[in-house]
Structure formats: C-alpha cells, structure tokens
Structure 1
Amino acid sequence: MEGQRERPPASRAKKPAVKRTTTDHNGTVGAPSHAGNCGPQRGARSRRAKRDGDPTEKPRTRARPGQASMPITDQRSSATGAAGVAEQPASPELQPPAHPEAPEVARGPSRRRGARSVGQLGAPRASRKDLKGTPEGKLKNVLKKLKLKRKEISKAADVVNEVVKHLLTSMKNRESEFKEVQPLNTGSYYERVKISAPNEFDVMFKLAVPRTQLQEYGDTGAFYLVAFKRIPRGNPLSHFLEGDILSASKMLSKFREIIKEEVKEIKDRDVCVEEEKPGSPAVTLLIRNPEEISVDIILALESKSSWPISTKEGLPIKNWLGTKMRTSLRREPFYLVPKNAKVGDSFQGKTWRLSFSHTEKYILKNHGIEKTCCEVGGAKCCRKDCLKLMKYLLEQLKKEYQELEAFCSYHVKTAILHMWTKYPQYSQWDPKDLSSCFDNFLTFFVECLKTEKLMHYFIPKFNLFSQELIDQKSKEFLIRKIEYERNNGFPIFDKF
C-alpha cells in the first residue's frame, strides 16, 4: 500500500527515552490518530528554517510521489474550473455499483474498529490540551459534537421505519394510482453526512412509469413536461393527464390526499401532515417521539430510459472515480419529482424536475479514488468532514439571518462534489490537513458566490446561483458572513 514502510528493527541497546514535541507543518501540535486510520506523517520544516526560527515560513501541503497536492489557502481556487482535471484511465477492476435502494432506515454505522495495516507506522498522539487551541483542534471538536449518537439513531430509525412501512402497506392494499410504489431512501441521513441530530429524513416513494417522452421546459435542462409514448388501457395515471401532458401538481395533490388519509389510521404514534409548501415536491410528516422528527415523503417517477440530453456532459467523475463507474451509474434509472418550475411569482404545475439523489448517495458513500477510502482498515480522508462543517456553518448562519433563506444544504453538497472532482487524490484530503482543506473549500464556495456560478453537478447548464434563483444581495451577504467567521476563528461554532 502506498505510503507504508517497514518498521525498523528494535535496537538492542537500552537508551533512555527522549520526549519530543511533534508539530505539524503549520507549527501546531499534531492531531491524534484513530483506530483504523492510516497514521498521518509528521510534518517537518526544513533544517534551515528550523535553525533560523523563521515565523513567516508558509505551510506546504505534501503530496505523495506522482500525485498533485491541493493548493494551500493563499492559492485561490477558481469556480469555473471545478471539473477541470487531467483524465486518468479507469481501473479495470472497478465493478458496476449495486442498486442504491435500501428498504429500511439504517441503524447507524458499525462500531467495529479498523485494523492498522501491517508494518505501517502510526503518528504519535498529541494531547487534547495541546490540540484545543489550534484551528485543527477546534474543527475536530465541532465534528465530535456533531456526530450522531448511536442510541438516538436507532430510536429515530425504528420510528421512521414503522411509519413508512405502514404507509407502504396501506397503499399496496388499496385501489389507487399509487398501488405499486416502492421506497427509495435518500438525503443526508442515508449519505451519512447528517449532523447534530437524526431528526430529518427523506424517503422517495418511486413509481415505475411506462415509456415516457420528455420535453424540456425552459432552458435550464432541469425541468420537463412528461408525456407517454403509448398509453396502455387501464393506465391509472391517465387520470392526471392534461391533454397529453402528465400534470405534476394534480398527481402530487392526489398523493398528498392519500397520505393524509393513511396517517389518520396510525393510532400508536403522534403523526401529522404539515401544510403544503408552494413549489415543494414533498409531503412532510411530523412525528412526535416525543422529540420531533420530520420525514419528507417525495413522490418520484422512475424512468429506465437513457438519461436526458441535458445531462450528457454532467457527472464529471471520469478522472476521479473512473470512466467505467460513470458509465455504470448512467445506466441506472433516473427520477422525476413534482417540483414545479418557477415562472415569475408562480409555478408551472405541469412540470417535473430531474432528481439524481440516488446517484449522489452512492457517490458520497464511495467517494475515494482508492477503493478502500474510509472503509474499515482503509485510509481515512476528510472529504465528508469538510462537507459536514460547511453544512453546519450554513445551518447556523441561517438560524441568525433571514437574508440567507434562499440557500440550502444542496448548494453545499453540489460545491463539494465539484471540489472532489477537482482534487481527486487522497493526499489532497488527508485528515491531518483538515483545517487547510476546509479553508480551501470555503475559498471555492466564496468564489462561486462572487462569480454567481454554481453549476448543477448532473446538469451543467443549470446554474444554482443564477440571479433568477438567488439575488446578488443575498450572495454578497453570505460572502461577508463567511469571511467574518473564517477571519475570527468561527465564533458561530461555539454556539451549541
């Protein structure tokens, strides 16, 4: 394995141990290693710098032989080059992904410890006291507090599974247009990037549809009008046709009506359906457990046709996860959710929006260029840690400032996917460089805000930061808040 070296034979002569203080390349005390991690290498200054004690020496990010390193924070990333990396051949051993569907809520990660590879030297542990005052230490402390507790995960998962199972069973047993729906778990909980508490879940109720014909609506490539190439006799969805077009709003309205009826039959749980939000594709349930758990039930049409032409240049993972993986993922079904296109101050009720949340879930779970990245016994990276920190930063800022209402965690997830594409190597996401990696991500995100360009990861011509979606004033406000936090050591992280 790259980065491993044999342990030197123990010296037979007994010499008194010399205590040494280990510092990383930023001059701060090295972070502690964890079971299952490949031990991080100790950073070292040049001998001349060490003798002279030059306080102005800039930190350098080390790269392994043959690998490019992520630029340090004074080398600003460009938002327009998010996917611009040199192409590398895909691994011939790369296997097509299994179908990402999971019928039930997972009950939390396994607690087994990963075994350290034979012959690999571990980095010396620094004391918590030494780490506490460093940027690295503060970020790791935040991540520790954000980590979900296993007992809470299991408790919430059992409740959600119970409610979802009741709804699915009821729909199968009643004569309706949604008799054949199947579950598809998506969202941050199933991607293992949920933070703070297991109180929000997204569950798709997918419905396979016969051969469809899509007509792009607008110029974003994200919204479509759906028609059937051939309508078989007795097709229950014909009730929702307006002319030849399948109305998303009509179908969602009936879906909501059935969900509300079935929720009333749940007697052993305190469950209610929240009021409909304009433009939202979800039917939101509120479960009091006694803590509140929000569950978004999202109707999704499953299409097994080729992905729409607007996605042809999307999913730029060839140089990161490989060409074979990209081809395999694009052979999976795509989904259409009843998210209406906005027209001025109203919504076009017939339109559906493309959804690739199932593919995003797969990528987040299999995010490393090395197959064993973050697996038990494999090397750990800080990719998902940076995502969690940025999600939490935006979440906390939104609690304090109404001006940030237009921003959401999907913007953060899209930005991090572009970052992972731009910097695919493990060495560029080494856990011991968490602070600099997070700062690089902030630099990239701020640059996207300044240029007003954050392109959809699967639909390259769909700009999530366009003026039509988010006004410039809101973007400038978020830029100022992010810069204030990073320049002052993230005081908002102390507000737990």
Structure 2
Amino acid sequence: MDPRRGKERRTSKKAGAGTPKGSAQSARGGSEKPEAFSPASGAAISSSGRCSPAGKSVPKKSARDPQKMPPGPGAKTAPLRAGDSPPLGAPSADERERQKAPSVPPEGSEPSASAEPPLPVVRCRRPRGTGSRRGGGADPALERRSAPRPEEVGSPGRESASGWKPRQVLKNLKLSLGDISPAAEVVNRVVDHLLRRFQSSDSEFKGISVLHAGSYYERVKVSVPNEFDVMFTLKVERIQLDEYGNSGAYYFVKFKRNPKGNPLSPFLEEEILSASKMLIKFRQIIKEEIKNIGDTDIVVERKKRGSPAVTLLIRKPKEISVDIILALESKSSWPVSTQEGLAINNWLGAKVRTKLRRQPYYLIPKHAKDGRSFQEETWRLSFSHIEKYILESHGQSKTCCENGGMKCCRKDCLKLMKYLLEQLKKKFEDRKELDKFCSYHVKTAFLHLCTRDPDDSQWLPRDLALCFDNFVTYFLQCLSTQQLKHYFIPGFNLFSSDQIERVNKEFLFRQIEYERNNGFPVFWNEF
C-alpha cells in the first residue's frame, strides 16, 4: 500500500490516488492561475499593488456591473485569436451602445446577490506624508474608488472622507476591562486544568505545552471577548515531511527514525503519523476531562468537517467559545515552500526575517481538501506564533505605538476590517455564501498590505479613514482577481476556486462595495 494514500478509507468520499507531487489539484491552492471576475460597480482596484508580497504596480481599473465589465469609452481591446472565447462578461456591440447612456442608481440601494447598478467614481489621494513604498518620491498615480455623495468628500487627514466616523466605531468596539477579565479568567482556568491532565498522565501527550494564539492574544479582538484560540503543542524530533500534491501547505509526517519507546508509535500507520488518529485521541481525553472541571458548565461542540480544533462551549457565567488545537512543534528548517514567503525585508528588516525563520514551525491536523472529500492524514503548516510577533512589533520604527514612540493606525485598520467581515457574516448568517470566509483572510491581506506600504508615515493616525479605504480597496482586488497568497507560503492561494467558490467571492465583493459606498451602515447595527 502506498503510504501517501494515507487513510483513504476514512475520507467522506474516496479520494482516489495518494496524490504524488504534481497531482491533487485541489490541494495546490496557488498553482492555478485564476480568472479575475468582473467586479461590481464603482469598485476600486488599486494601482498600488497586487495581493502578493512583491507589491508590484498594476494598471488601475474601475469596476462596473458585477456580471458584465465592458471596456470604457475609447478602450482598446486585442483581437481574438481563432478559437478564443470572448472574455467573461464581455458585451456585444449592441450592448456597448446601450451602455453609453447614463444611468443614475437610486441612492443607498442595497445590492442584490446577483447584480448592482453602476455608481460614479471619484479620484482620491493617498494619505498625506506618504510617498513610494520605500518612503521617497511622490505618490504614484491617483487611485480610483467608489464615490460617496459629493458633499461627503473630505480632504486627506480628516476623520473620514465619506461621512462615517471610524474613530467612533473603534470606540464602540473597545473591550472593557470588566468584560475581558472574567472571560480570560474562566478560559485560563479551563486551559490550565486540561494542561495538568495531559502532563500528569502517562499518555502519548505527556510533553504537551500551551501556546496562546488568535485575535484575543494578538490584541486585535473586536466586539466582545467570546472567542479564544489555544494551541496545545507537542515537540517532535527528526521528522520527514512529504508534501501532499503541490500544495506547499499540507504534508504527510514521518519519523526519520522510530526508536522503541516513541510515545507516538500507536498513531503510526505504515510509517505515516496519522493526523486523524491523534485528533480522535486528543478529543477523547478532553471530553472526559471537562467533566471534572467544577463550577463551570462546559460542553464539547460537535466536530466540524475538516476542522483541526476541539471546540469547547463554556455556557456559564457567560457563553464563551474556546478552540483548542493540537499542534506538532518542529525545530528543523522551514519547508522549501516558505522560502519566498514572509517578505518583511523592507518593512521589519532582513535581520528580523532571519531571526523569525530560526523559530520553530508548527503542524496542525488539518485535512487537505481533495475534490469533494478530505485527505484525513495530512498536517498543515502553521505560523501563528510568528503572526503574533509581527502584530506586536508591527512598526518599521522599533518604538512604533510604544509609550513615547510614533503612533500608527495599522491595527485599527485591521480591527475595522475584521469587524466588517464579522458583521457581514452575521447579517447573512442564514445564507451560505460567506461561510468559508474568516478573519485569517483579512489578516493575510493585512500583512501583504503592510509589506506593500512599509513606512510608518503611510499609516498616520490622522489618516485612519483613508488607510482603511486603501485596505478595503486591496481586499476587493484580492476578491476580484481571486488571488490571496498565503503570507508564508506564496504558492498557496487562499482564494483559489477549490478553496472558495467564485460565486461566493463575487457576493462578498458586492456587499463590501455597497457598505463602502454608503458609509458602512453595517458598523452601526449593534450600537
């Protein structure tokens, strides 16, 4: 039996071959070149850079109808070669004539799930004090974005260029000490109890330790402290990683040598460390132990398909969700797929990059998607600890946002964007289009944007509204081009068609565009 086939019989639908390199298209992520869909009306496609660490310039584009994106007046198009299909959404000659007639949409109308009327566009400048990505020279071409009403247009440096007040939103989102302390106390007590259980037993997980991760510990949590992420890490030595397909992110794990007495031997299947077996055992121990935690009402939520987390729901005194994730810790060199990732040389510096790449990396039992099924024996790379470090030390200046140091609005922009996605998911919770989008997509886009705009002067607090608008523009571009490269694994595309369907990206694009055109009404739903 080919060990790369893993536990094929465990998959919800048999995945076929064990995907040697070059196969398993669904695991490739970024190996395909996705086709950009036509963005919705009035969308801003920034000229500042694509969704990649390189930050190279791309031609400016103004968006039109979500289903059809005709060339503008005077636009030149290349003739089609024999056998070529016209571009997606390309109009006929008659349609182009009809589209020349002006159309004025009803003000403030909400987008449908399929189309939206065209809106005007306005040119807006980047925040004052910013130059090229290296900090010198003038700002490049002016950028285009969806226009607010004429009376709402402000000048750079004002609270908002479109009438809404981001500072007030952030004030509403600020977590109070009275909310944080009780929630953190309950979570810490539960985590400490589980940790003692794992460390005191003679089980396979005796050497486990805790690594706090996620938005709460990165200090970018928004709204209420009701979700926590905790990694239970287990050191493994002398392991060999066999890449699953050409994903760059998913691997089979083997031991180079398997001496007698290896506590993980019970989880081996034909030399492969079974992710599914370890996760089942890990989950079983947690389910048994939470019964022994007094004064707390806790249940283990039903396992989500393909999820690596064991989710605890603490129901008293307040409802809190805690994702506990098993992770293997390896101190060997990072895999080859990460060599071009973590592009922070022009932002945090080459020395910091070298230092970070000497840190361990982690592997979590995340199943690779294989068509409509999952390969249950794969492990996925995780760099949560590096992401946490970057967010804590986010400035080009070492004293950025410290007492007495220069302030920036990077984390404020991240909080606003996370809250925007969170509120949209809540607004459409009875639909499925936004189910696969998560805060990690927002954080990844944010890290790319910081790479593109590395100077602290490009993130001045007085320019919060414009910096956030740049972030929204950038995220819309990622959706439009269907390209969001993993920050550490550039070959893995988080927005590829097999990760998230195109229709879902179009839906989110239209909703974000509507929010921006109308002053983000979704921000005020709860206040």
TM-score, length-scaled by structure 1: 0.75
Aligned to 2:143: 75
Identify the match of residue 448 of structure 2 among 415, 418, 421. Answer: 418
Counterparts in 2 of 1:365 and 1:57: CA distance versus 1, 3 Å: closer
Identify the match of residue 301 of structure 1 among 321, 324, 328. Answer: 328
Aligned to 1:172: 199
Identify the match of residue 62 of structure 1 among 128, 134, 141. Answer: 128
Large movers: runs of 4+ above 2 Å: 56-74, 131-137
Aligned to 1:472: 502
Aligned to 2:175: 148
Aligned to 1:366: 393
Whether the aligned pair in 1 keeps the contact of 2:425 and 2:435 (CA below 8 Å) is yes
SS in 2 for 1:264: helix
The code of the aligned residue for 1:242 comes to E
**Are 1:285 and 2:312 an aligned pair?**
yes
- Residues 13-24 of structure 1: pairs in structure 2 closer than 5 A: none
Counterparts in 2 of 1:488 and 1:72: CA distance versus 1, 3 Å: farther
Counterparts in 2 of 1:221 and 1:57: CA distance versus 1, 3 Å: closer
The code of the aligned residue for 1:75 comes to E
Whether the aligned pair in 2 keeps the contact of 1:62 and 1:69 (CA below 8 Å) is no
| Total equivalences in the alignment | 388
Whether the aligned pair in 2 keeps the contact of 1:76 and 1:443 (CA below 8 Å) is no
Counterparts in 2 of 1:452 and 1:294: CA distance versus 1, 3 Å: same
CA shift for structure 1 position 68: 4.3
Aligned to 2:246: 219
- Residues 386-401 of structure 1: pairs in structure 2 closer than 5 A: 386-401=413-428
Counterparts in 2 of 1:381 and 1:70: CA distance versus 1, 3 Å: farther
Unaligned runs of 5+ in 2: 1-121, 146-157
- Residue by residue over 1:196-222, the C-alpha shift from the partner in whole angstroms, topping out at 9 and shown as x without a partner, is 011111110000012100000021200
Whether the aligned pair in 2 keeps the contact of 1:303 and 1:334 (CA below 8 Å) is yes
Identity %: 64
The code of the aligned residue for 1:296 comes to D
Aligned to 2:476: 446
SS in 1 for 2:311: strand
Aligned to 1:459: 489
Unaligned runs of 5+ in 1: 1-55, 78-130
CA shift for structure 1 position 399: 1.2
SS in 2 for 1:404: coil
SS in 1 for 2:489: coil
Whether the aligned pair in 2 keeps the contact of 1:256 and 1:283 (CA below 8 Å) is yes
Distance 1:227 1:300 in 2: 15
Distance 2:142 2:259 in 1: 61
Whether the aligned pair in 2 keeps the contact of 1:61 and 1:69 (CA below 8 Å) is no
CA shift for structure 1 position 135: 4.5
Larger mean CA deviation between 188-197 and 401-410 belongs to: 401-410
Higher relative contact order (CA 8 A, sep 6+): 2
CA shift for structure 1 position 62: 2.4
Distance 2:192 2:318 in 1: 20
CA shift for structure 1 position 137: 6.0
Distance 1:182 1:335 in 2: 13
**Are 1:495 and 2:522 an aligned pair?**
no
- Residues 327-406 of structure 1: pairs in structure 2 closer than 5 A: 327-401=354-428, 402=431, 403-406=433-436
- Residue by residue over 1:42-87, the C-alpha shift from the partner in whole angstroms, topping out at 9 and shown as x without a partner, is xxxxxxxxxxxxxx9965632279824896995269xxxxxxxxxx
- Aligned-residue Cα RMSD (Å) equals 2.0
Aligned to 1:240: 267
Aligned to 1:269: 296
Distance 2:160 2:325 in 1: 44
The code of the aligned residue for 2:414 comes to L
Distance 1:342 1:149 in 2: 40
Aligned to 2:91: none
Counterparts in 2 of 1:371 and 1:76: CA distance versus 1, 3 Å: farther
Distance 1:221 1:58 in 2: 39
Identify the match of residue 514 of structure 2 among 463, 474, 484. Answer: 484
The code of the aligned residue for 1:486 comes to R
Distance 1:342 1:405 in 2: 16
Distance 1:251 1:74 in 2: 53
Whether the aligned pair in 2 keeps the contact of 1:136 and 1:434 (CA below 8 Å) is no
Whether the aligned pair in 2 keeps the contact of 1:193 and 1:388 (CA below 8 Å) is yes
